[in-house]
Amino acid sequence: MTDLDVQKIIQASHEMKEKAYCPYSKFRVGAALLCQDGTVITGCNVENASYGLTICAERCALTKAVSEGHRRFKAIAISSDLKTSFIVPCGACRQFMVEFGTDWNVYMTKPDDTYKLLKTGELLPLSFVPESLEEERINPKA
């Protein structure tokens, strides 16, 4: 990934946070996903009065990408309004990300464009991944 790619998705994630629908928490989050073919897919958090139906920005971007035929990703950038802390994905988003591989980049940003970079697998060590379903079992007929 080039520095230009990184800056492009960080900027796109900041722009997407402006579109967040968060009337309850007032916690705006934007995400920009860089697909393997160079396409950038964006998302924002969308809250619901029934909190369990809320979708995070990361999952919004990933589901949009998958619905458009993308399955391989280079990176995702995540932005929020947190002034002194890097935004980090929730556990559900981490599990959602490792579904598509444990070795792509996650840029967790601050509003000043600084970021912390980790691989998806580093965010969710000992994760349950698609290959887990292929492992030999003691009772394969169950």
**pLDDT tens for each residue of 34-59:** 999 999 999 999 999 999 999 999 99
User: What is the spatial distance between Cα 123 and Cα 19, in angstroms, rounded to a whole number?
Assistant: 26
pLDDT of residue 123: 96
The dihedral built from the CA positions of residue 25, 28, 34 and 39, taken in this order, carries a sign that is positive
pLDDT at 136 over 90: no
Total length of the chain: 142
* Alpha-carbon separation of residue 34 from 12, 38, 63, 75, 101 (angstroms): 10, 6, 13, 5, 14
Q: Which segments are annotated as binding site?
A: 45-51, 56, 90, 93
The answer to whether 13 and 31 have CB atoms below 8 angstroms apart is yes
Active site residues: 58
Helices (H), the chain: 3-17, 57-67, 91-98, 120-123
Which positions make up the binding site for substrate? 45-51
The whole-angstrom separation of Cα 88 and Cα 131 is 25
Residue 74: the pLDDT is: 98
Phi, psi for residue 44 in degrees, rounded to 5: -140, 165
pLDDT for 133 equals 87
d(CA 131, CA 66): 19
Beta bridge partners of 92: none
* Closest by Cα among 33, 89, 90 to 62: 33
Q: Which residues line the annotated binding site for Zn(2+)?
A: 56, 90, 93
Residue 142: per-residue pLDDT:
60
Produce one character per residue of 37-50: b if its CB has 16 or more CB atoms within 10 Å, e if not: eeebbbbbbbbeee
Residue 30: its H or E element? strand 29-35
Question: Residue 140: its pLDDT value, please?
Answer: 67
Asked if residue 17 has pLDDT above 70, the reply is yes
pLDDT in tens, 67-120: 999 999 999 999 999 999 999 999 999 999 999 999 999 999 999 999 999 999
